[in-house]
């Protein structure tokens, strides 16, 4: 059967590029983008777009019926830093939207679901280096608790009702087309914009805070690959660890200096430091590599070149 895809949260950082990629793969009309607000002009103009609140089950169901949707990518979420400021709102956005989609899949209204998890599922008691797929998970942020809970429910709906739900634990995703909103890893995007604009940057994370990161193209590739893989290859139905590179603000600044020699950085850690301190420094993603052939293409050097060139070209 031909794919009919609904992206919920299509105007966000990942949703925008994911929607465009899926339109390129399956045709513009096969991918319905939806979000609570309008977004990128190319996204709005290249195919169907609907204003939709991810927590409005009736409205989402009406879109699934109207467009005869068989696959949903639920990208709407409140990220770590913003969620700490509005815990209950974050909980209801992150959880209600997931339950609506899982229940629609249980009722066989849709066949396949993608739902992103995050490295935020881990916490201070998790091994920090090369964090295993299965390990202690005691997240201390609202966002992390919602993602960990979501993972448990995904696995439950798969085991109990046969729902084909697939998920990956995104690290910090770095891109230049759409700005991120309210994450702890956002410094790794701001730094490039400020380096080009001002030649300097004040980081809200300390210089030696190592976090797992990934260039957007790799994140999109992983998302497409896990959704294209035969169902039998997806053996983890909570969420897969996923990794490409890890770096600190200091090592990223050193990489930027190879392109902008005068670039300077200083550090003014804020409340996001406390969140970052509870997350892994690096991730063991061998299960994703073994089960569905995950491979990344971008390291810190390639990422830095792409970001600086991309921002310059995009600003013109």
Give the catalytic positions in this structure: 143
Q: Which two tokens stand for residue 109?
A: 């209204």
Interface residue with ligand AKB among 184, 239, 246, 278 (CB under 6 A) is 184
CB of 296 to ligand AKB, least distance (A): 16
Which segment (102-110, 118-126, 159-167, 282-290) binds ligand AKB by CB under 6 A?
Answer: 118-126
Interface residue with ligand AKB among 55, 118, 239, 304 (CB under 6 A) is 118
Interface residue with ligand AKB among 80, 241, 243, 246 (CB under 6 A) is 80
Interface residue with ligand AKB among 67, 114, 122, 170 (CB under 6 A) is 170
Which residues, numbered 196-235, are part of the site for ligand AKB (CB under 6 A)?
none
- Residue of closest CB approach to ligand AKB: 183
The owner of tokens 């759409």 is 178
Residue 129 CA to chain centroid, in angstroms? 21
C-alpha torsion 187→40→117→173, nearest 10:
-30
**Residue 172 binding ligand AKB, by CB under 6 A:** yes
Helices (H) and strands (E) in the chain, counts: 12, 14
What are residue 213's DSSP bridge partners?
172, 245
Secondary structure of 150-206 as H, E, C letters: HHHHHHHHHHHHCCEEECEEECEEECCCCCCCCCCCCHHHHHHHHHHHCCEEEECCC
CA-CA distance, 306 to 233, in Å (whole number)? 32
**Residue 119 binding ligand AKB, by CB under 6 A:** yes
170 versus 201: smaller Cβ distance to ligand AKB: 170
CB of 198 to ligand AKB, least distance (A): 23
* Residues at the contact surface with ligand AKB, assessed by CB under 6 A: 79-80, 118-120, 143, 170, 172, 183-185
């Amino acid at each position: 059967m031909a794919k009919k895809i609904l992206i919920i949260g299509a105007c966000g950082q990942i949703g925008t590029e994911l929607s465009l990629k899926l339109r390129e793969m399956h045709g513009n009309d096969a991918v319905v983008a939806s979000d609570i607000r309008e977004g990128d002009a190319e996204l709005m103009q290249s195919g169907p777009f609907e204003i939709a609140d991810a927590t409005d089950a009736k409205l989402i169901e009406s879109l699934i019926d109207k467009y005869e949707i068989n696959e949903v990518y639920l990208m709407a979420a409140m990220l770590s830093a913003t969620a700490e400021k509005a815990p209950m709102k974050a909980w209801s956005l992150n959880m209600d939207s997931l339950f609506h989609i899982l229940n629609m899949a249980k009722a066989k209204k849709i066949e396949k679901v993608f739902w992103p998890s995050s490295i935020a599922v881990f916490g201070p008691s998790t091994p920090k280096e090369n964090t295993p797929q299965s390990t202690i998970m005691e997240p201390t942020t609202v966002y992390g608790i919602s993602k960990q809970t979501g993972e448990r429910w995904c696995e439950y709906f798969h085991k109990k009702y046969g729902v084909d739900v697939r998920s990956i634990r995104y690290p910090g995703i770095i891109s230049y087309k759409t700005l991120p909103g309210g994450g702890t890893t956002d410094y790794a995007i701001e730094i490039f914009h400020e380096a080009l604009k001002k030649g300097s940057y004040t980081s809200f994370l300390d210089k030696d805070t190592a976090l797992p990161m990934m260039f957007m193209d790799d994140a999109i590739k992983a998302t497409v690959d896990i959704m294209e893989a035969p169902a039998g290859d997806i053996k983890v139905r909570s969420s897969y660890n996923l990794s490409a590179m890890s770096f600190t603000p200091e090592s990223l600044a050193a990489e930027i200096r190879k392109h902008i020699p005068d670039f300077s950085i200083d550090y003014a850690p804020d409340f996001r430091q406390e969140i970052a301190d509870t997350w892994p420094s690096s991730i063991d993603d061998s299960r994703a590599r073994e089960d569905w052939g995950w491979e990344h293409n971008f390291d810190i050097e390639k990422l830095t070149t792409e970001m600086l060139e991309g921002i310059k070209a995009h600003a013109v």
